Amino acid sequence: MVMSDEVTVQRVLSGIQPTADSYHLGNYLGAVKQWIDLQNGYDAFYFIPNLHAITVDQDPVELRDRTTAGVAQLLALGIDPEKSTIFVQSQVPQHAELAWVLTCLTGFGEASRMTQFKDKSTKRGADRTSAGLFMYPMLMAADILLYSPQLVPVGEDQRQHLELTRNLAERFNSRFGETFVVPDGFIPEGAAKIYDLQEPTAKMSKSGTNPKGIVNLLDAPKTSAKRIKSAVTDNEGVIRFDRENKPGVSNLLVIQSALTGRPVDEIVADYDAAGAQYGALKTDTAAALEAFTTPLKQRYDEFMADPAELKRILDRGAEKAAAVAEPLVADVYAKMGLLR
Ligand code: AQP
């Protein structure tokens, strides 16, 4: 097997799109928090997939600002550039090169079966759906296969794309010779799925329709406290964990638990003993959030105030990423008979 470099520890790779001014609590508790743990035992590659972001309309100034802000947020949250390779997708051109090769290996019917494309294109309508959105899974496959990671932390919603990635890796290997590592997806331990505060059966999403349902990490504590306090609950008045029948209360319990490190059962038992009402659950959850976001915002502001340092981190990240990606693309091109 041709490996793009010597891998001594297992490699993980994941990305987060620059599609909003701030990441939200779901992005942190469901993804970045685990990335921080993983960087200690793995060769971690984390990137900002800005080429994915343009599969739907983006304002150029906003996209540029959000990309930088995204990097600063990852650093402020605890991704350490000394341990992890942090980079921006558009600064490593091999992503686009491999994406084209993989697109040409993908069947039209196969790509048409991707449920995320079907959902998003149905919502947007054919005239507002780009061909780029259709190619999104093949670009994601390239993002992964370029770095030969053994493990890819993914949310449930990305499982089908990961399966396509595995199929494309196997297809290429069998047609052109062993080249790609076939990666495994995994949901890291402790990853919490966070739901919209106003519609607690839908996932909290940057592109959610009601801003009141989202807790942004960079919002003022007052704004977030207000949102937590107006979160939808139920009329039962009893604090207990029951995703199906009490999605709003359960969501707040999961948020508080993930932020404080206290198990949900313990939090529920304490409320039970105190005969507490939903008001207490909301006040405590808002306080836990404020304790987390206040120092985070300070660290974020410090990184944003030092663009030269951010540039240095990204230049080094892009260089490290390209050092892995380039030999792989060169090998792929050679095997396919493409001059380079
Ligand atoms: N609500 C969530 N709960 C847990 N994890 C979540 N993630 C997103 N929302 C939740 C995880 O965050 C990582 C980065 O996500 P992304 O930016 O690549 O895109 P996404 O999953 O599509 O996130 P959004 O917020 O819903 O963005 P938009 O609205 O732009 O599509 C992923 O690991 C994801 O699982």
Taking only the tens place, the pLDDT of each residue in 122-167 is 989 999 999 999 999 999 999 999 999 998 988 777 889 999 999 9
Gap between the Cα atoms of 233 and 242, Å rounded: 12
23-57 per-position pLDDT tens digit: 999 999 999 999 999 999 999 999 999 999 999 99
| Residue of 83, 193, 203, 212 marked catalytic | 203
What is the tens place of the pLDDT at every residue in 60-115? 999 999 999 999 999 999 999 999 999 999 999 999 999 999 999 999 999 999 99
State which ligand 1 atom lies nearest to the alpha carbon of 156. Answer: 35
215 touches ligand 1 (CB under 6 Å): no
Q: What is the pLDDT of residue 4?
A: 47
Residue 212 appears among annotated catalytic residues? no
Predicted pLDDT of residue 1: 40
Specify the fold of 221-301.
Tyrosyl-Transfer RNA Synthetase (1.10.240)
Q: Is 120 a catalytic residue?
A: yes
Specify the pLDDT at position 218: 98
CB of 204 sitting under 6 A from ligand 1: yes
Ligand 1 atom closest to the Cα of residue 27 is 12
Centroid of ligand 1 to alpha carbon of 116 (angstroms):
13
Catalytic residue among 120, 229, 320, 335: 120
Tokens of 250: 């359960």
Q: Which CATH number fits domain 11-192+306-336: 1.10.12.10, 3.40.50.620, 3.10.129.10, 3.50.40.10?
A: 3.40.50.620
Domain positions in the chain are 11-192+306-336, 221-301
Ligand 1 within 6 A of CB of 12: no
Q: Which phi-psi region, left, alpha or beta, contains residue 190 (left: φ > 0; alpha: ψ -120 to 50)? A: left
Instruction: Judge whether 339 and 161 are in contact, CB under 8 Å.
Output: no
Amino acid 72: pLDDT = 98
pLDDT at 6: 53
Mean pLDDT of 329-337: 98
Is 50 marked as binding a ligand? no
Give percent above pLDDT 90 in the chain: 89
- Please name the residue whose Cα sits nearest to atom 27 of ligand 1: 206
83 catalytic, yes or no? no
pLDDT in tens, 276-307: 999 999 999 999 999 999 999 999 999 999 99
What's the pLDDT at 121?
93
Q: Is 194 annotated as a binding residue?
A: yes
162 pocket-lining for ligand 1 (C-beta < 6 Å) = no
Query: Is 203 among the annotated ligand-binding positions?
Result: yes
pLDDT value for 335: 98
Task: Kindly indicate the confidence band of residue 325, based on its pLDDT and cuts at 50, 70 and 90.
Answer: very high
Nearest protein CA to atom 23 of ligand 1, as residue: 205
Place of tokens 């928090």: 33
DSSP string over 101-140: HHHHHS-HHHHHT-HHHHHHHHHH-GGG--HHHHHHHHHH
End-to-end CA distance of the chain: 21
Half-sphere exposure of 321 (CA within 13 A, CB side): 31
143 is in an annotated binding site: yes
pLDDT, tens digit (0-9, with 9 covering 90-100), for 170-188 = 999 999 999 999 999 888 8
* Nearest ligand 1 atom, CA 17: 17
Half-sphere exposure (Cβ direction) of 164: Cα atoms closer than 13 Å = 28
How much is the average pLDDT of 1-23? 79
What's the mean pLDDT in 222-228? Answer: 97
Query: Of 206, 246, 282, 297, which one is the catalytic site residue?
Result: 206
Distances (CA, A) of 176 to 3, 319, 331, 333: 15, 28, 10, 10
pTM of the model: 0.93
